[in-house]
Amino acid sequence: MRRYVLTLDLKDDVSLIAEYEQWHREVWPEVEQSILASGIRRMEIYRFSNRLVMILDADEQFSFERKAMVDEANPHVQEWERLMWKYQQPVPGAKQGEKWTIMNKIFEISGNGV
């Protein structure tokens, strides 16, 4: 299993953030199916203020390039993405056209059951 951590900002507007969270309590089934079919086994999104962090656990066959190609051909996913862009904005330093930006892991610690 591979883990990816990504970040994105929401527009800094309390009512838009509330709407965005409401949409994520009722994600369209076609969007959920597309996520799982791509090889993503678990997805979590966390929010602090207007900053989002997404954690993806994916199988070894998953690739962002393949997911993007499949999503491009899925009208439900495209509609969802257009709708979500009303609430989202790239983080400072993101590449042109980049929404979710992959974060670099800089630290890890594992215990032995202590």
Residue 112 lies in a domain: no
Q: Tell me which residue of 18, 105, 96 sits closest to 53, measured CA to CA.
A: 105
Q: What is the pLDDT of residues 71-85, one digit of tens each?
A: 999 999 999 999 999
Give Cα separations from 10 to 18, 31, 54, 58, 84 (angstroms): 11, 20, 13, 24, 10
How many domains is the chain built from?
1
Residue 77 lies in a domain: yes
Residue 36 lies in a domain: yes
Residue 113 lies in a domain: no
Residue 107 lies in a domain: no
CATH of the domain at 50: 3.30.70.1090
Answer for the pair 75, 25: CB distance below 8 angstroms, yes or no.
no
Range of the domain at 50: 2-102
Q: What is the pLDDT of residues 91-114, one digit of tens each?
A: 999 999 899 999 999 999 998 766
